[in-house]
Each structure stands twice: as structure tokens, then as C-alpha cells.
């Protein structure tokens, strides 16, 4: 992942904390975080939430609840340095 990211030059690096819940995991096999549900990721290109979900291989059909720094944000939210993203499927049974 690091060598891949070193190719991405020209933008400020952003450290993003990702927390996945209720069985969600990073599904992008090309990332070091593959298979993890709690990880930090360095981005050096601008991405919104929808693009980032796609990047880590999580379908928006499953990721129905997304919080950034503890607050709801829409899929168009553009990620910023030190953001903490929490992603959940609907845990709605009782």
C-alpha cells in the first residue's frame, strides 16, 4: 500500500481513521487494511464518502449509516485530515 501511495503525489496527505461495525470489513484486497474492521488509512487524493466506500470495497447498499466524527454526513461529504469514519449496516432487529 505504501509504495502505491508514494506514486500519488501533489496533494496533502490525510490520515483517516476507519471503524467498521456489525460484520463490515475492508474488502479491497489491494489495501493493507484488507479484512480489518478498525484501521487508519493515509489518503493523498480528495475523496467523498461514496468514493471512499467504493475504495475500501464496501457497498453503499450495505453501509446505511455513516458517521464522520460522530455526526451524520451525506455521501457527498469530502473527507478531511484526521476524520474518523464509522460505518454500520442497519442493526434493527429486536
Partner 1 sequence: MSSIDDGIDEGLNEGLSAKEKQRYHRQLIMSEIGEAGQLMLKGGKVLVVGTGGLGSPVLYYLTAAGIGTIGFTDYDSVDLSNLQRQVLHRTPDLGKPKAVSAFEKLSALNPEIRLVPAGERVDRENAGHLISGYDVVVDCTDNFPARYILNEACIKSGKPFVHGGILGFFGQAMTIVPGKGPCFQCVFREPPPPEAMPHPPGVLGAVAGTIGTIQAAEVIKLLTGRGRLLTGRLLMYDALEVSFREVEVKPDSDCQVCGKN
In the complex, which residues of this chain contact partner 1 (CB under 8 A)?
A: 19, 21-23, 38, 61-62, 64-65, 67, 69-72, 86, 88-94
Rounded CA-CA distance 24/19 in Å is 9
Q: What is the dihedral of CA 42, 45, 50, 55, to 10 degrees?
A: -60
**CB of 18 vs partner 1, minimal distance in Å:** 12
**CB of 68 vs partner 1, minimal distance in Å:** 10
**CB of 54 vs partner 1, minimal distance in Å:** 18
- What's the distance, CA 42 to chain centroid? 10
Amino acid at each position: 500500500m505504501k509504495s502505491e501511495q508514494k506514486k500519488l503525489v501533489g496533494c496533502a496527505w490525510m490520515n483517516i481513521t476507519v471503524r467498521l461495525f456489525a460484520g463490515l470489513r475492508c474488502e479491497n484486497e489491494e489495501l493493507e487494511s484488507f479484512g480489518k474492521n478498525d484501521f487508519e488509512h493515509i489518503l493523498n487524493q480528495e475523496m467523498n464518502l461514496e468514493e471512499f466506500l467504493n475504495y475500501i470495497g464496501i457497498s453503499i447498499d450495505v453501509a446505511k449509516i455513516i458517521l464522520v466524527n460522530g455526526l451524520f454526513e451525506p455521501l457527498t461529504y469530502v473527507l478531511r485530515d484526521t476524520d474518523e469514519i464509522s460505518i454500520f449496516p442497519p442493526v434493527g432487529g429486536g
